[in-house]
């Protein structure tokens, strides 16, 4: 059987629908049906054909999801439109490989274990999502379950399995729908799939009825100074930089006057460095220390810190916590943005520096560390780190009773990127049953409660502050305690299914010549 034009169109529609399930279009319900065409096709096609169709679907998915990518290197990296577009196409094709290999593996297994495919397909899918989280520095942006951040009842299940469990249920549902079309027991399959979805949503509904902890409630504030990402602090007049600093400090005074006890500044919204001896940095540090002492407020600040080693100076993207009654604490960002904050695999990609000087050379932090607010420990994953479920869960496991993330999404303008990035923070709150505070330089700043409900949210490119009451939580979810048991199990079972399929197909090939001899 050859790949026909209708097959290509079906695969393409699969990718487009899945992309539209994510912000900013918010058509999250498409995520429940978007993979049906691809599953239908891979059960009909051979593995090679399935790989091609998976590649087509994946390419369209990432093309829709990440349409905002070319603008970043073009506007901030100084690259030409043609080169920026080439980078975008190469990234889309690279990420689409995961869809291609999913389709190939599913088609390969379907030849020898047809009856098990209802379970094999979702297991293979979450295995690919889990590999995406780690392979080539990791990029778990666009996991299927993450399209459901507004489906509050359903996402409660992620406190047990992480977002991967949501993807598993969604793909399992679509597998049941496809198999319902291929059997006489259509009513049984459709009823089973609908009952499963109702059960998970009802379970989530019951979880939402549980009372939110109310002990030790306090008021926190998010400062959004709306500093443009195009700002070059090294070249602009110091008076302009000082004006930006004062703007953030004035917003902090307003937040304090409205009851804030913990005040959070975004990532790199003003140039702060507590380890630098340059006089403006010292002046800023002294003013912030004075504000903390006079008001009694704790400040969490996005800063750039410097350390010195034998090989030379080391530069860190940091979150510094400044308290009136204790020495400041720090957390250094561990998972840096590839080709933004550092160059991965330098031996291979060293040539990129010839085209742009916009790539930083930051040093990743090596340790998880917590801050304290009035004796309450909390974690502060920085920017890009919030998209990694395994990384964020380690903060509550260490004892963090709420989470704060600081970020700068100004690079992406009003595209879907800030909305997609914000939506991922919702899952980290639910997975760990923690309040999550998000301070963004140009927005979206916001507060998410332990059940994924968005309590407050700012608009993009506005100067504002958000005061909110939050409550610490000491209890650990199953996911916080034990992590990615489901995707690890899925990866193990997927490998076993592939090996078993290979053995069965090999044995079948051996039997064919013997059968021919017996006939003759």
Tokens 């094709």 -> residue:
93
What is d(CA 241, CA 381) in angstroms, rounded to the nearest whole number? 26
What is d(CA 53, CA 5) in angstroms, rounded to the nearest whole number? 11
Tokens (6 digits) for 217: 């409630």
What is d(CA 21, CA 249) in angstroms, rounded to the nearest whole number? 39
What is d(CA 292, CA 174) in angstroms, rounded to the nearest whole number? 54
Do residues 270 and 284 lie in contact, with contact meaning Cβ atoms separated by under 8 Å?
A: yes
DSSP β-bridge partners for residue 404: 437
User: What is the biggest distance separating any 2 CA atoms in the chain, rounded to whole angstroms?
Assistant: 98
Tokens 């990718």 -> residue:
15
Tallying the residues shown for the chain, one arrives at 520
Bond before 24 cis per omega within 30 degrees: yes
- 308, exposed or middle or buried, with CB in 10 Å at 0-12, 13-18, 19+? exposed
Question: Residue 306: how many CB atoms within 10 A of its CB?
Answer: 16
What residues act catalytically? 267, 333, 383
Tokens 């390419």 -> residue:
59
């Amino acid at each position: 059987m050859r790949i026909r034009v209708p097959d290509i169109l079906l695969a393409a529609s699969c990718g487009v629908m899945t992309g539209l399930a994510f912000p900013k279009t918010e058509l999250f319900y498409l995520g429940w049906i978007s993979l049906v065409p691809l599953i239908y096709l891979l059960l009909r096609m051979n593995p090679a054909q399935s790989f091609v169709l998976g590649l087509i679907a994946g390419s369209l998915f990432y093309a829709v999801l990440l349409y905002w990518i070319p603008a970043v290197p073009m506007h901030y990296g100084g690259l030409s439109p043609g080169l920026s577009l080439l980078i975008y196409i190469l990234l889309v094709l690279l990420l689409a490989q995961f869809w291609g290999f999913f389709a190939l593996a599913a088609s390969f297994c379907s030849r020898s274990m047809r009856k098990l495919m209802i379970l094999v397909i979702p297991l293979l899918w979450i295995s690919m999502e889990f590999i995406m989280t780690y392979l080539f520095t990791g990029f778990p942006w666009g996991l299927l379950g993450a399209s459901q951040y507004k489906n509050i009842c359903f996402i409660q299940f992620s406190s047990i399995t992480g977002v991967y469990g949501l993807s598993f249920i969604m793909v399992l549902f679509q597998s049941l729908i496809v198999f319902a079309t291929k059997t006489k027991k259509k009513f049984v399959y459709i009823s089973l799939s609908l009952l499963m979805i109702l059960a998970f949503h009802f379970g989530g509904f019951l979880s939402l009825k549980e009372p939110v902890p109310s002990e030790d409630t306090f008021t926190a504030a998010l400062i959004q100074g709306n500093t443009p990402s195009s700002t070059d602090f090294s070249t602009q007049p110091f008076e302009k930089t000082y004006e930006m600093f004062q703007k953030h400090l004035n917003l902090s005074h307003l937040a304090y006057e409205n009851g804030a006890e913990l005040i959070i500044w975004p990532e790199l919204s003003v140039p702060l460095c507590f380890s630098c001896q340059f006089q403006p940095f010292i002046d800023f540090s002294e003013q912030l220390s004075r504000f903390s002492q006079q008001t009694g407020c704790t400040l969490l600040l996005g800063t750039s810190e410097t350390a010195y080693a034998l090989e030379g100076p080391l530069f860190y993207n940091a979150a510094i916590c400044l308290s009136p009654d204790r020495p400041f604490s720090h957390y250094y960002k561990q998972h840096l943005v590839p080709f933004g904050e550092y160059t991965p695999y330098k031996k291979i990609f060293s040539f990129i520096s010839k085209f742009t000087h916009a790539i930083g050379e930051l040093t990743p932090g090596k340790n998880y560390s917590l801050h304290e607010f009035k004796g309450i420990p909390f974690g502060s994953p920085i920017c890009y780190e919030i998209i990694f479920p395994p990384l964020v869960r380690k903060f509550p496991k260490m004892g963090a009773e709420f989470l704060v993330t600081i970020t700068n999404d100004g690079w992406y303008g009003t595209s879907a990127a800030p909305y997609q990035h914000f939506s991922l923070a919702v899952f980290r709150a639910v997975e760990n049953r923690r309040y999550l505070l998000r301070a963004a330089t140009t927005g979206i700043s916001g507060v998410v409660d332990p059940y994924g409900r968005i309590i407050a949210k700012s608009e993009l490119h506005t100067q504002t502050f958000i005061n909110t009451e939050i409550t610490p939580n000491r209890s650990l979810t199953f996911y916080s305690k034990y992590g990615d048991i489901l995707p690890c199990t899925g990866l193990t079972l997927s490998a076993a299914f592939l090996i078993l399929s290979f053995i069965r197909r090999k044995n079948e090939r051996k039997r064919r010549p013997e059968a021919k001899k017996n006939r003759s």
